[in-house]
Amino acid sequence: MLSSHTLPPLLSLSFLLLTCFLYVVAEEPNLSNKIGQGYRLISIKNAPDGTLVGLLQVKQKNNIYGPDIPLLRLHVKQETENRLRVHITDAEKQRWEVPYNLLPREQPLSVKQNTEWSWSWSRKKNNLISLSNSSELVFSYTSDPFSFAVKRKSNGDTLFDSSSNEFNTLVFKDQYLEISTKLPKDVSLYGLGENTQPHGMKLYPSDPYTLYTTNVSAINLNTDLYSAHPVYMDLRNEGDEPYAHGVLLLNSNAMDVFYRGTSLTYKVIGGVFDFYFFAGPTPLNVVDQYTSLIGRPAPMPYWAFGFHQCRWGYHNLSVVEDVVDNYKKAKIPLDVIWNDDDHMDGHKDFTLNPTNYPHSKLLDFLDKIHSIGMKYIVIIDPGIAVNSSYGVYQRGMANDVFIKYEGEPFLAQVWPGAVNFPDFLNPKTVSWWVDEIRRFHELVPIDGLWIDMNEASNFCSGKCRIPEGKVCPSGTGPGWICCLDCKNITSTRWDEPPYKINASGVQAPIGFKTIATSAVHYNGVLEYDAHSIYGFSQSIATHKALQGLQGKRPFILSRSTYVGSGKYVAHWTGDNKGTWEDLRYSISTMLNFGIFGVPMVGSDICGFYPAPTEELCNRWIEVGAFYPFSRDHANFYSPRQELYQWESVAESARNALGMRYKLLPYLYTLNYEAHNSGAPIARPLFFSFPSYTECYDLNTQFLLGSSLMVSPVVEQGKTQVKALFPPGTWYSLFDLTQTIVSKDGNYVTLDAPLHVVNVHLYQNTILPMQQGGMVSKDARMTPFSLIVTFPAGATDGVAKGKLFLDDDELPEMKLGSGFSTYIDFHATVKEGNVKVWSEVQEGKFALDKGWVIDTIKVLGLSRNGTLTEIEIDGEKQMNILSVEVSTSQHNYLFGHGDGDKILMVGLKRLNIPLGKNFAVTWKMGS
């Protein structure tokens, strides 16, 4: 809804420029902006648990951005072999940190503990060499002025180094913290989101990176958007040896990050320095280590990987029914139908419009779609309408759940008009929220929730009151225009902090179009500190509510996310535009969120506004069909853009989504991997090919898992695509006989007429697939096929794959429940002998479901001739007519194999039970 509820296009594009509250340009760090002389280390000691604890004393006080905190506590701990923590805070007073109950982690020694045993500390000036012999990370320091470095033990690489004459030494004030690190000039950095990066996902020197959750449309470039993820991945290639590591600054306060190619500087307006370093050394290792700290990604239900359709502007239930029917008529798969706030009564959460969405008819509709396996999701915004006859508001007031300003619930305006914002840091609020969701679910059996506007978004700024003598909103003008009586808040240092964030150089006040930063949460916590975790705290409360309903696995889509949000929610990238540029940007943003530990991510297919062209929508569904989260969503003011609106788009959708639905078991297995190791579902190519530097800056291709590469058309008028193929053999998924052999890595020009998207499968892979369907419930009960890929012409090859299956309604996704099966697939070829086999864990679930393997196709086989001596589980099968054998010759689109004739061998009608170990063997005749 305007973006799902954001500013309209013209306002959104010039959002920061139109405000009358413009501030001075944020100062990029340089020697002329020197702030003091830093700190000196005056005491240091190894604590009983192996932690290094020190005291830092300011060297020379100054009042730039406020007075210095005179004494700091340094806390350094090797938390695992691959994770090092460096925590710096006020030695005498407790400071704001991301709440430990929201993001569970080890707590550093308290200020009181410091005082109790600080007398025994020894004074040192020499560097500490290492904290642990088993660690890959080595911490060192310089005493005066204090700086620290983190190095990699295995190769001596410096990963972080805060010592330099080119930037400020450590600065630590109440409302301004600054620290920098030197960087080699040839590193590749990724992360620091959320923003729309025009250069792609790789961080670009001098581009601004501001982290502060803001309701600014995603069509705005280089601007702080809905989420805040102060983490980056550093990828280096030294002597053809790739090394990746990660750096997290766990701080929820607003910050600017300046990347200048050879250094990175953080400027933060509060909190503490709480750095976590992750040793890698592979990109997958980094995400594994990162999500082991912040929380593993949430398990998604199987149906969530189907296709979703939404629009702001489904004015009544008959329109929704018509959409579902038209998808069926067009034979385009559809799993989930969504309502933006059209279903609500006066835009109020947890209500139904009695005229346009009558309760009894809605229940009949849900019974109908639920019976075929389809699902229904609706939106809720955090703002609760101020309305004395509205039960949700009444119960909220009775339980005192709202954020306060000057002792009263903070008044804002969103779609219903005047609203109060729930304070999800308050345990009473969480209980109230859980109960409201329960009540609504009893009214409408929804299958998931969409939490939007949770940056939090406010159509007004400052301190507001409901105007007397006029209706607000009037119902005649745009709903996003502030109609409350408001005045600016400039009297506090929280609403007017000394340092003005926004690295792009144009600043609005920090409380602009959101909750005033001097507003107060539970236990006296200021919005100033907690602002960027608002959506995160709502996600946790919403997840708790849905998990308690019928014991089912929750599905929640959240616009605002923070470090750890992936443990609870999926994310979409907000209000994009129906342009070719936005199509390209969507790929980079999706890949970034995989690094952030939020693998279930996608963008509004065809764009949220304004109208996409027919050609663009064709190409967008060919990309969006392979987003982890695949949803078409459009603006109230845009023309209808459901995929059946154009016959050409419907054809592209049938093609691309048809393949997606065949790949559902693969996507769901990637979901299982993500839940266990954090591994992104959609990945940059460098995740699988970290030694191949040509893919470090590749932004228009991506992998699903480790082996399936999507190379879409993202430019207008193109019927070919120039795609990069890392070294190895690649097979076209839409035509398995089409082969590309990329010896050292090559760009290859592929044909891509309007309805074609190029998807290729890498060598050494076993890909489980099914036969597809119009809804995932049906698709997942069809027979399986296995696609086995060897390097073209290999006489000695190995391939592997895996498959996870479970009862996806259960909250937990794990083996050992009795409702899941895990299978490792293996294949070898050696001198013409081919073997494909499985190793099954917990096979009963798959056996009870009756799943079977119907087809096995083995690609890239060398030698001429026919198959001999086919055996299944040791029994010869050549005389059994039910097994259909076929051979096809591969065609080389690029490159050459090692043999004159490379074959694909297919075995069909195998009827092998999926839940039992099997072995299929044969020999290729001469």
668-687 confidence digits (pLDDT tens): 999 999 999 999 999 999 99
Instruction: Please check whether residue 166 lies inside any domain of the structure.
Output: yes
Cα(485)–Cα(490) distance, integer angstroms:
16
Do 705 and 837 have their domain in common?
A: yes
Neighbours of 743 (CB within 10 A): 12
pLDDT at 7: 40
The DSSP symbol for 343 reads: G
Of the candidates 293, 325, 347, which is a domain's last residue?
Answer: 293
Q: Which of 860, 836, 835, 712 is nearest to 768 (CA)?
A: 836
Angstrom distance (rounded) from CA 831 to CA 49: 57
List of residues 6+ apart from 625 with CB closer than 8 A = 307, 653, 656, 657, 659, 660, 757
CATH number at 777 reads 2.60.40.1180
Q: In what order do the strands lie in the sheet with 241-249?
A: 39-46, 52-58, 71-80, 83-90, 273-278, 241-249, 229-238, 188-193
Q: Is 885 exposed, middle or buried (0-12, 13-18, 19+ CB in 10 A)?
A: middle
Q: Tell me: do 504 and 652 sit in the same domain.
A: yes
Would you call 319 helix, strand, or coil by DSSP?
Answer: helix
Cβ proximity of 906 and 867 under 8 Å = no
Bond preceding residue 473 cis, omega within 30 of 0: yes
Pair 197, 137 in one domain: yes
- Which residues is 77 bridged to in the sheet? 85
Tell me if 908 sits within 8 A of 883, measured CB to CB: yes
Tell whether 655 and 720 lie within a shared domain: no
Closest CA to 271 of 525, 20, 625, 509: 525
pLDDT (0 to 100) of residue 790: 97
- 735 and 621 part of one domain: no
First to last CA, the chain: 64
Contact 73, 114 (CB under 8 A): yes
Q: The whole model's pTM is what?
A: 0.95
Residue 32, domain member (yes or no): no
Determine which one of 68, 174, 447, 455 is catalytic. 455
- Under 8 Å between Cβ of 516 and 410: yes
Q: Is 452 marked active-site?
A: yes
**CATH at residue 581:** 3.20.20.80
Among the listed residues 342, 575, 582, 673, the single catalytic one is 575
Q: Are 754 and 707 in contact (CB under 8 A)?
A: no
Q: Note if 575 is an active site residue.
A: yes
Rounded to an integer, what distance in angstroms lies between the CA atom of residue 450 and that of residue 448? 7
Low-confidence ranges of the chain (pLDDT < 50): 2-27, 29-32, 117-126, 128-129
For residue 172, what is the domain's CATH number?
A: 2.60.40.1760
The span from the CA of 201 to the CA of 701, in Å, is 12
- Domain membership of residue 8 (yes or no) is no
Residues 45 and 72 in one domain: yes
Q: Are residues 657 and 689 in the same domain?
A: no
Is the same domain home to 208 and 316? Answer: no
- Expressed as residue numbers, the domain containing 215 is 38-104+123-293
Q: What are phi and psi of 48, to 5 degrees?
A: -55, -30
Q: What are phi and psi of 855, to 5 degrees?
A: -135, 140
Number of domains the chain is built from? 3
Q: How far is CA 370 from CA 358, 366, 600, 808, in A?
A: 18, 6, 23, 15
795 belongs to a structural domain = yes
- Report CA 174 to chain centroid distance, whole Å: 32
- Say whether both 800 and 835 belong to one domain: yes
In a domain? residue 133:
yes
Residue 730's pLDDT is 98
How far is 219 from 575, CA to CA, in rounded Å? 7
Largest Cα span, the chain:
93
Question: What is the structure's pLDDT at 23?
Answer: 33
**For 122, which DSSP code?**
B
The residues near 65 (Cβ < 8 Å, ≥ 6 apart) are 35, 171, 173, 175, 176, 498, 499
Q: Specify if 150 maps to a domain.
A: yes
Could you tell me the two tokens for 357? 């969405």
Domain's final residue, options 671, 706, 737: 671
- DSSP-based three-state secondary structure for 250: coil
Q: Is the domain of 762 the same as that of 733? A: yes
Does 27 fall in a domain?
A: no
Shared domain for 435 and 562, answered yes or no, is: yes
Residue 397 shares a structural domain with residue 308: yes
- Domain end marker among 671, 701, 718: 671
Question: Is 468 among the residues known to form the active site?
Answer: no
Q: How many CA atoms lie within 13 A of 864 on its CB side?
A: 2
Q: Which of 452, 495, 642, 808 is catalytic?
A: 452
Compute CA distances 606 → 428, 577, 610, 615, 719, whole Å.
Answer: 41, 8, 10, 10, 19
pLDDT at 832: 87
The answer as to whether 905 is a domain residue is yes
